[in-house]
Structure 1
């Protein structure tokens, strides 16, 4: 796919590629067939979209076709999405979580954590946050949403780092920017792909001497940031990263603009060399 294509909910498309592409969030396979019995030959897929946005293809080992939402699009939960959720309250078997202000509470099983038992399950309180995967989404606007902080196939929190997020700060970004941040580095680093985001890589190089930082990105427009540095330096690092992310998103900065932004913000916060 040479350039992004605008797609609307309910639109169907036919894709024909040498290897069947993986489908990202908000795309659903309707039918698939191979055009030849020979390996590596083109296969045809009929797919449908459940959200408006730009249809893009991202290549790294396998081709992934996905929908990048428009900047002002509200987040709509989709199966397999990674999200940052806030605990609202708990019941006997579940934590009731907030994903967005406009969606019903999501259910997170109290045993849906790596190694969790009735005795060792995390005791999460209202206001605490978790990095979770959407397991299922009910039918209709009020359908139940189920989350898990573990890979159901392996019983592990990795490789996504699922589970409670302690410390750090959470910043709000657009759903489009969150999707761009979650794209693979192969498409983002030179700015040639649909992601075009290098701000985190630039900050990572600048903060190597301070021990670096951790980031978790949710498709619901939330970014959690925590620093390895202690005290005032750690706090300033987290705030600087949040400022850079927000300004890159709000001003839709290109690669050069992001690099200049990082230098300016670090200088203003006394973190530059």
Structure 2
């Protein structure tokens, strides 16, 4: 029997599990749901392709939350990439996928043929995936639909970028993430979260930057209570107590 959509609860699933009735609530929302990573639709059947926890974001977005480091590009994802090559009018950017992404020099705020962006090989970019499918190279942009950067572009060279699991990034992006709330309340810093499992951090000093990076990396496998204890020690340590 199908579970009503309003009674949804996270559940553990395995590859190949049929989730059609559980996700669509008996079919009344079958044409409105959005399937995220780990879910696949074959005609009328929805099944899981990964082992993990089935999650839901209201109203009708579903995905499988699992410990995964391999990134599969998806349209609309904001990612952190490293410029590896400059070829004519495009840059090639490593985003951790199976192939490098391309980025036009015109895909920056205010860029024209005469006013080209100052992007060098080795720079770290925060960009959005405009095109992402298995038959084409991923394509990035550093502007939104109105032509504004909205925080996208080359991030500061004095920050620090590290690799983590995709599940940790999704946890940090959630509204009720305790570590992000505590960091925002106690430490001034800048952060860019890439859906490809990369996080860039910059604080007022190298010492503080390393402390924030360690706190973020350690919070993946500890409870909310342990996060609070860790943050108290971190804040006291930075204050010299």
What TM-score results when the alignment is normalised by the length of structure 1? 0.72
2-structure distance, mates of 1:49, 1:81:
21
1:78–1:137 contact (8 Å) kept in structure 2: yes
Task: Give CA deviations for 1:177-204 in whole Å, capped at 9, x if unaligned.
Answer: 1121122x1xx2xxxxxxxx31121111
Residues 1:205 and 2:185 aligned together = yes
- How many residues are paired up? 228
1:99 match? 95
2:56 match? 57
2-structure distance, mates of 1:116, 1:95:
14
Structure 1 residue 8: deviation in Å?
A: 3.3
- CA distance change for structure 1 residues 132 and 72 in 2, over 3 Å: closer, same or farther? same
1-structure distance, mates of 2:90, 2:13:
39
Instruction: Give the CA RMSD over aligned residues.
Output: 2.8
2:64 match? 67
**3-state SS in 1 of match to 2:107:** strand
Residues 1:16 and 2:24 aligned together = yes
Which of 137, 148, 151 aligns to 2:141? It is 148
2:228 match? 259
Q: Structure 1 unaligned runs (5+)?
A: 32-44, 189-196
1:171–1:224 contact (8 Å) kept in structure 2: yes
**3-state SS in 2 of match to 1:137:** strand
Residues 1:119 and 2:111 aligned together = no
Matches within 5 A, 1:169-184: 169-183=160-174
Q: Structure 2 unaligned runs (5+)?
A: 1-7
- CA distance change for structure 1 residues 80 and 29 in 2, over 3 Å: closer, same or farther? farther
- CA distance change for structure 1 residues 48 and 129 in 2, over 3 Å: closer, same or farther? farther
